[in-house]
Structure 1
Amino acid sequence: MVFWITLDPLSDLSRPPGDLSSGDLLNQVLYVALYCLTMAKLIDLGWRGARPLLHPAYLLLLAWFAVSAVLGVNPGTSVRRLVLCAMVMSIVGVLPILPRTQRDLELWLGTAAMIVVVLCYLAVLLVPALSVHQADAPREAGLAGDWRGIYDHKSTAGPMMIVFLFIGAFLAGQGRHLFGGVLFVLSLVFLLFTGTKQPTALMPVILLVSRLALRTRSRLLFLALCLGALALYNLMTVGSAVIPSVSDIVAKLISDPTFTNRTGIWNFAIDRFLERPLTGYGFMGFWSTDAVLQSDPLGQLAWTAEATDSHNSYLDLALTTGFPGLCLALWVVVLMPLLDFMRARLDPTKRGLALLFFRIWLFCIFVAALETVFFLRDSAVWVSFLIAIFGLRYLACYPVRP
């Protein structure tokens, strides 16, 4: 609930952003407090409940991230961000085993989602200057009129409304027709007012693909359907920045082949990655740091001083943790959840919940092709993604108590 509302709701975008490389003491204290409370609850429930999270892939991933952080260009910043990210992952990893039954989990998800959606509507109604993009915002004048609710940007509000929409559809399918239907409709209406293009276009595709994946018996066809589509999507987006033939195809298919000027960022990020392909620049240790300025000493690319990410999660992982970090992350956030869903979908008692987690997971890995989502500490979208990943992990290992 805290992470879905975020620790900095209703941000004032008319003010210049602060130094993102410096730590926020209040946030760090809250992280530590939530972590301690979660670990205390886990001890009370029993450590064995979280045993599925002791998978070697998780341990190897965090170990390599630690190596890249220490060897990076800003080890202090990278290590601090990695510790906070690991705390959030631990907190979210325990959440799915706290409800005693599936009905309790449904109540928790539905109530939390409804509260956040209602807060977003109230924000638009009561404080539109802080919940709707304004023309006087230094870098967001072109988004004037788009709703963002309690979030700092419509690129967060849009994906979160789709997550809530999926939860509403799940609840309606579990017999909570009125509650789930209202949540679905409220989320859909707010989504349309955010003006987000990619998430809105992806939503019906995710609903269709998830249904096909649920009914596909062939494991090979299942993997091809999900992984093949993801690879093609990344090829048509970030691949268009470096492969001329792909760029030509994209130019014929869409009106903006630069993906809102993302191709320039992708080219810059790829060039920087090739300079440090093994360890990268350190976990979350490139953007908004001196490393960016050092990469452009002549100041020819003025936009780099304000860029906060690569607008592609996979490219950002390669840039900051190197090629090994990218491979390990793909194992953890793409391949393992996919295999977990393949096992969980075979059990009729798990199928509805597995489908919900699978939809959130599938949506996030596709959104990640045009936005940086992975390992963003307390990002609401990242936390939703983690809930789906860990939820599928538990479903693959444990039976469901109805």
Structure 2
Amino acid sequence: MAILIIFGIYIFRALSGVLGSLIVALASVFLIFTESKSSIMLLPFALAVSVVFVRLRNTAAKLIVLICVPAIIGVLTIGSIQFAAVNALVNELMPDPTFTGRVEIWQFSLDHIAQHPIVGFGFQAFWGTSELVNSWTWRGSWGYRAPDAHNGYLNIAVMTGLVGLVLTLGWVLVRPFIDHVRTPPGRADPALNLMFIQTWLFGLYLSGFEAVLFTNGSVRVVWFMMVVSIFGLRLQARAK
């Protein structure tokens, strides 16, 4: 539904205000009734930040805006289980920053990343394996039966190690940023460019709570549209 809202905004700006407004209104109602806390909270951030990001002309300022929200999400979530001071601050702000008690699975992921930090356990060769499932007991961590790390960055790190994480960030974060700043003003269609940016940023933000990157799970639509947006930003930068 979040992606449909972004699409509705594009329709509103590029084709039809009435149709776009209808799509946004109906998709918003559906999103609210899904009770998807992460999408409901993060989508407004992505929409607001995208407008600021597009309008900025200074590259350094754009970079700061780009990394600010994912960094804050990382500190308030993963940081809260690693540092007591952050945990105390988060508990003052909200009772459950993970939204659905993801602390245990994140700690489980971090523990296993430490076992194979360089190259990980192998892409799609960790979650749901017989070794994990057979090791689970009712008193053990539910991480043994989890389908993923419920965090896109941790998920990549546990499967492909720090090497895979760096390469992934280079493709989903650094490369699209470079393509965006290298696109001359006026070359890209404003409405289409904003839709690419909104989808891309939303995917980066949602990866702090869901295993979006390279997924075939429940958020695969977000991943697919994120890839489309990355390709779109690349094509805009290369267009003559």
User: Cα deviation per residue 1:218-276 (whole Å; 9 max; x = unaligned)?
Assistant: 11011011112211211211121112211111111112245422111111110111001
For residues 169 and 384 of structure 1, the distance between their equivalents in structure 2, rounded to whole angstroms, comes to 15
Number of residue equivalences = 238
Q: 1:151-300 alignment to 2 at 5 Å?
A: 161-257=1-97, 259-293=99-133, 296=135, 300=139
Question: Who is 2:203 aligned against?
Answer: 364
Match 1:388 to one of 212, 226, 229: 229
Alpha-carbon displacement from aligned partner over 1:144-169 (angstroms, at most 9, x marks no partner): xxxxxxxxxxxxxxxxx111111111
Q: Percent identity?
A: 32
Identify the residue that residue 328 of structure 1 maps to in structure 2: 167
Q: Which runs of 5+ in 2 are unaligned?
A: none
Match of 2:190 among 351, 362, 366: 351
Within-5 A mapping of 1:113-152: none
Deviation readout 1:280-339 (Å, 9 max, x if unpaired): 110011111124247x57774152343111110000111000100000000001111122
Task: Please say if residues 344 and 354 of structure 1, whose CA atoms lie closer than 8 Å, have aligned partners that are also in contact.
Answer: no
Q: Is 1:306 matched with 2:145?
A: yes
Paired amino acid for 1:385: M
TM-score by length of 1: 0.56
* Counterpart residue identity of residue 238, structure 1: I
The amino acid that maps onto 1:242 is Q
Say what the alpha-carbon RMSD is for the aligned residues: 1.9
Amino acid at match of 2:172: V
Cα pair 2:102 2:150 within 8 Å, conserved: yes
Equivalent residue for 2:180, pick from 317, 334, 341 = 341
Structure 2 counterpart of 1:339, which letter?
Answer: I
Deviation at 1:343, TM superposition (A): 2.8
Distance 2:108 2:194 in 1: 38
* Contact residue 238 and residue 312 of structure 1 kept, 8 A: no
Paired residue for 1:373?
A: 212
Equivalents in 1 of 2:23, 2:194: separation in Å? 18
Alignment TM-score, normalising by the size of structure 2:
0.92
**8 Å CA contact 2:69, 2:205 repeated in 1:** no
Q: Secondary structure at the match of 1:352?
A: helix
**Separation in structure 1 between the aligned mates of residue 131 and residue 113 of structure 2, nearest angstrom:** 12
- 2:143 is paired with a residue whose SS is helix
In the TM superposition, residue 348 of structure 1 has moved relative to its aligned partner by 5.1
Kept in 2: contact 1:344–1:351 (CA 8 A): no
Kept in 2: contact 1:214–1:345 (CA 8 A): no
The amino acid of 2:115's aligned partner reads E
Contact map agreement 1:358 1:388 (CA 8 A) in 2: yes
**Bigger Rg, which one:** 1
Deviations 1:77-135 (A, max 9, x none): xxxxxxxxxxxxxxxxxxxxxxxxxxxxxxxxxxxxxxxxxxxxxxxxxxxxxxxxxxx
Taking structure 1 as reference, are residues 297 and 197 closer, same or farther at Cα in structure 2, changes over 3 Å only? closer
* AA at the equivalent of 1:321: T
Quote the Cα distance in structure 1 between the aligned partners of 2:207 and 2:114.
Answer: 21
2:95 aligned counterpart, secondary structure: coil
**How has the CA–CA distance of structure 1 residues 213 and 358 changed in structure 2, closer, same or farther, with 3 Å as cutoff?**
same
Does structure 1 conserve the Cα–Cα contact (< 8 Å) formed by 2:200 and 2:226? yes
Q: CA deviation at 1:350?
A: 2.6
Q: Hey, what's the Cα distance between the residues in 1 that align with 2:180 and 2:24?
A: 23
Residue pair 1:168, 1:183 contacting (<8 A) in 2 also: yes
- For residues 27 and 99 of structure 2, the distance between their equivalents in structure 1, rounded to whole angstroms, comes to 25
Q: Give the partner amino acid of 1:220.
A: A
Residues 171, 177 of structure 1: 8 Å contact kept: yes
For each residue in 1:373-396, what CA deviation from the matched residue of structure 2 results, as whole angstroms up to 9, or x when unmatched?
Answer: 110147222111111111111111
